[in-house]
Structure 1
Amino acid sequence: MAPFMKLGTDVTEFKVASSKAYLAPVYDMASKEIVAWDTSAGPDLGQQRRLLARLADRLPRDARPVLHSDMGWQYQHRWWRGELERLGIRRSMSRKGNCLDNAATEQVFGHLKDEFYRGHSFDLYEQFEAELNAYIVHWNTQRRQERLGGHTPAEYRDMFLTVQAKGLS
């Protein structure tokens, strides 16, 4: 499977100081890269707007991915559906009571919470957001993955897209 073909998204919650923070990522199931993300103090439509704007900036021009999600309210929203259509992204939503379609994204949340969050306390939302952003950059550019032949997600993506570009020229 090529990068930017099969993506997943969801929202997860973190306790930060006396409030909460919400992470909404888009995860590439081929490269294992978190290709776009947004952190917010609330899981609102503004977070989803920022997320899809960041995803649009990252998508290769000819990409026509499928984006898997659960049945969360944001993924059923008229704006979300229209924006995916505008970007040329097909949406795929898990059936009620079936989380298997989005299991890869849920697995990323497990890794993030095990490796980044557990055992750490954050006094300020801004501290959490800065450290989470740094961790996601680490995930994409430093964290080698056995399933990618020992490459980082960014290395795998770049290698695949380079080979693909050479094949098209």
Structure 2
Amino acid sequence: KYGEAKKAYLSAIKDLHDGTIVSYVFGRSNNNKLVFDTLDQATALLNGDRPLIHSDRGFQYTHLGFKRRIDQAQMTQSMSRVGRCIDNGPMESFWGSLKSEKYYLEKYKTFEELSAAIDEYIYFYNHERYQKRLNGLSPLEYRAKAA
């Protein structure tokens, strides 16, 4: 939320190998376009890879348009059963980090202010936020070392 009870929505895709947020779209409505644009950004980076994509059971992820995009990119979708959030757990962890480390620390008056804060946090998360599971490296440091 920002301003006087206005809402904004963030869609993101996380690489489970190194934890980087590989694509994200911030918007004013929670609709198929928000999620589809996020997936399109991510698939543009695939370079022939065919990863597994995990998601929750939200309407955007069960939509035929989402399935078509996944099939076109030759990806495999993994979606847990209703009431089991195992596939979406890593993203829920990211949302918790973003909220506690950035969002809850300030009040945002405008969409643009909140958008800039999200951009700043995701840059920090990918480039500077050290993670124990990555041997004390940031996600992009870990990725560079693996390459």
For 2:29 and 2:71, locate their aligned partners in 1 and report how far apart those are by CA, in whole Å.
25
Normalised TM-score (structure 2):
0.94
The structure with the greater share of residues assigned to strand is 1
How do residues 136-151 of structure 1 correspond to structure 2 at under 5 angstroms? 136-151=122-137
Q: Residue 65 of structure 2 is aligned with which of 57, 70, 79?
A: 79
Instruction: Tell me, yes or no, if structure 1 residue 112 matches structure 2 residue 101.
Output: no
How do residues 17-166 of structure 1 correspond to structure 2 at under 5 angstroms? 17-18=3-4, 19-59=6-46, 61-160=47-146, 162=147
Q: Percent identity?
A: 32
Aligned residues: 146
SS at match of 1:68: strand
For 1:46 and 1:101, locate their aligned partners in 2 and report how far apart those are by CA, in whole Å.
22
Partner in structure 2 of residue 4 of structure 1 = none
Normalised TM-score (structure 1):
0.83
- How far the C-alpha of 1:131 sits from its partner, in A, is 1.4
The structure with the greater share of residues assigned to helix is 1
Gap runs ≥5 in structure 1? 1-14, 163-169
Query: What is the Cα-based RMSD across aligned positions, in Å?
Result: 1.1
For 1:57 and 1:155, locate their aligned partners in 2 and report how far apart those are by CA, in whole Å.
22
Gap runs ≥5 in structure 2? none
- How far the C-alpha of 1:111 sits from its partner, in A, is 0.6
